[in-house]
Amino acid sequence: MDTTAKQEITIHQALHQPILVMGGERNLVMMLGVIAGVFIFSLAQLWAAVIGVLLWVFGQWGLAQLAKYDPMLSKTGKRHMKYKKYYPASATPFAPNRTIQ
């Protein structure tokens, strides 16, 4: 008879899902809210309030659409921008030998 018991651990969804607010990535939604709030409240003009509300509505819709594509787009996009489009071969016979430890 098998004396080893099968061990199982439940991993809750909250531990590995990205944090989304209103369908968009949390830090981007909060930054959009601050920018829209500046337009709505700080400028105290009707045209600025209209621009702020439109910015909030369409910006939130856009962030929700981006989060459907990739919920961690700000982190992966920032890393993607660091990559070059082309990495030329740069091997030379005069390169120092590398030692593997």
User: Is pLDDT at 1 greater than 70 in this prediction?
Assistant: no
Question: 0.75 cut: is pTM over it?
Answer: no
Instruction: Retrieve residue 3's tokens.
Output: 């004396």
Distance from chain centroid for Cα 20: 10
Domain ranges of the chain: 19-80
Instruction: Retrieve residue 80's tokens.
Output: 């993607």
Please give the backbone phi and psi of residue 4, each rounded to the nearest 5 degrees, phi first: -85, 125
Q: Which amino acid is at 88?
A: P
Q: Are 8 and 44 in contact (CB under 8 A)?
A: no
Give the pLDDT confidence score for residue 73 in this predicted structure: 87
pLDDT digit string, tens, across residues 49-66: 999 999 999 999 999 999
Give the pLDDT confidence score for residue 44 in this predicted structure: 85
Instruction: Retrieve residue 77's tokens.
Output: 């996009």
